[in-house]
Amino acid sequence: MESSVVLESSVVLESIVVVGGGAAGLAAAEALRAAGFSGSLTLVCGEPELPYDRPPLSKQVLAGAWEPERTRLRDAAHYAERDIRLRHGRASCLSLAERTVTMADGYQLGYDGLIIATGARPRLLPAGHDLSGVHVLRGLADVTALKTAFGSGGRVVIVGAGFLGMEVAAAARGLGLEVTVADPLPEPMTRQVGPLVGAAVAELHRAHGVIVQAGTGVAGLLSGSGSVTGVALHDGRLLPADCVLIAIGARPETGWLAGSGLSLADGVDCDEYLRAAPRVYAAGDVASWASFRYRRRLRVEHRMNATEMGTAAAGNLIREAAGADLIPFDPVPYFWSDQYTVKLQVHGHVNPSGAVTIPEGAVGDGKFVAVFHHDGVPTAILGWNAAARMPAYRRQLLG
């Protein structure tokens, strides 16, 4: 998976632009300052708010335990103190030849170094998103609208049983709503945790009153007077609904990079150093990279990965400019999910069809550890309310 990188002679970085105001972009900007970069540093934020954390949106914010302001990653003074210029608005075009990022309002930002961290946007159904009562959940505006809908009560149908859909199901049940989850796969979260643990997730939700309709896809949305009234499944069943959340995954936010010359097969395609082009790096949900550890290209949509990638991309940009050797990005991925009183933690890369063993506890007992294998080699570990046991098992992945 390794690739050769021909570095330029050392160059002076006077201006760096980081496009993307999420966790990856902020981590990159902070790492640049920590590495001693003292030139112009602009952080382009696609939303009007200060950069904020997304994982709490589907849990604490949606459930009403947190006010939205609590999700801010840093206060305004933090950026001023580090001379990080926040430029609100969306990037619309990148010119590698001219080293410019053009904003939607036509303003151009010149750069000597660029880090792309524009994240991802929700996947949509072919039709129906114009109906009142149909929602997605990605940003603060989305969670505000969904909270309002939940406040009206009624029947909630969640299309998609990944970790986002199941977290929202738990939050909705906590608010006393009638919840149904529909997904074409036989068990929830199969892609993230495999079918064995996915079955345990299904039982957890059923025990809390969620109706899990797995094994059949969605044919379309039903409506009346401009509002959603239900969800039609491929097997002919109809699920009545007053509110529908579409949680069927996300697409990398690369539309603004069309015609730039960057490879965009799976987000921004990077080498093992997160380098997409000379002095251009990518990080977070938008970036895929060549992983030596897993012998394949990865694109990971999880919070900790975003921070690690942003920091690594910034470091390699500085090294490239100095003519120094770059450092491969090859972490053990990590994500977690909070549902009811259960904390799921996953370290590594899960192959849903691979072998799995349960070395501690038992599925269904409320606390267990699962180890996923490929060709007899551990590739991932999962803890179900087993946080204290994770460090020891993680070392198996690093060995």
pLDDT tens-digit readout, 154-206:
999 999 999 999 999 999 999 999 999 999 999 999 999 999 999 999 999 99
Residue 27 has pLDDT above 60, yes or no: yes
The whole model's pTM is what? 0.94
Indicate the SS3 state at residue 90.
coil
Say yes or no to pLDDT of 123 above 60. yes
Q: What is the reported pLDDT for 362? A: 94
- Whether residue 2 has pLDDT greater than 50: no
When pLDDT is cut at 50, 70 and 90, the band that residue 226 belongs to is: very high
Of the listed ranges 128-132, 265-269, 387-391, the one predicted with least confidence:
387-391
Residue 388 pLDDT > 60: yes
H/E element, 15 = strand 15-19
What Rg value do the Cα atoms of the chain yield, rounded?
A: 22
- Write down the pLDDT at residue 354: 85
201 is written with which tokens? 């997730």
Instruction: Provide the token pair at 392.
Output: 């020891």
pLDDT of residue 246 exceeding 90, the answer is yes
With bands split at pLDDT 50, 70 and 90, how would you rate the model's confidence at 8?
A: low
- pLDDT value at 376 more than 90: no
What is the distance between the alpha carbons of residues 341 and 324, in angstroms, rounded to a whole number? Answer: 48
Predicted confidence band at 1 (pLDDT cuts at 50, 70, 90)?
very low
- Domains plus CATH for the chain? 15-121+251-322 (3.50.50.60), 124-248 (3.50.50.60), 341-398 (3.30.390.30)
Return the closest-CA partner of residue 382 out of 335, 339, 341: 335
pLDDT over 80 at 99, yes or no: yes
Residues 232, 70 contacting (CB under 8 angstroms): no
Give the model confidence (pLDDT) of 269-285 as tens digits: 999 999 999 999 999 99
Confidence of residue 399 (pLDDT cuts 50, 70, 90): low
DSSP 199: H
pLDDT at 6 over 80: no
- In this prediction, residue 9 carries a pLDDT of 60
User: What number is the average pLDDT over the span 145-150?
Assistant: 96
Which amino acid is located at 36 in the chain?
Answer: G
Supply the DSSP symbol for 333.
Answer: -
Model pLDDT, residue 280: 98
Q: Can you give the pLDDT at residue 7?
A: 55
Q: How far apart are alpha carbons 256 and 273 in whole angstroms? A: 23
Dihedral in degrees, nearest 10, Cα atoms 184, 148, 64, 386: 0
- Mean pLDDT for the chain? 95
User: What span, in angstroms and rounded, lies between the C-alpha atoms of 56 and 101?
Assistant: 31
H or E stretch at 172: helix 163-174
Out of 69-83, 198-212, 302-316, 353-367, least confident range? 353-367
pLDDT tens for 311-357 read: 999 999 999 999 999 999 999 999 999 999 999 999 998 988 889 99
pLDDT at 175: 95
The token pair at 365 is 């007992």
Query: What pLDDT score was predicted for residue 397?
Result: 83
Q: Return the percentage of the chain with pLDDT > 90, whole number.
A: 91
Q: How confident is the model at residue 3 (pLDDT cuts 50, 70, 90)?
A: very low
pLDDT at residue 4 greater than cutoff 80: no
Tokens for 286, please give them.
């938008």
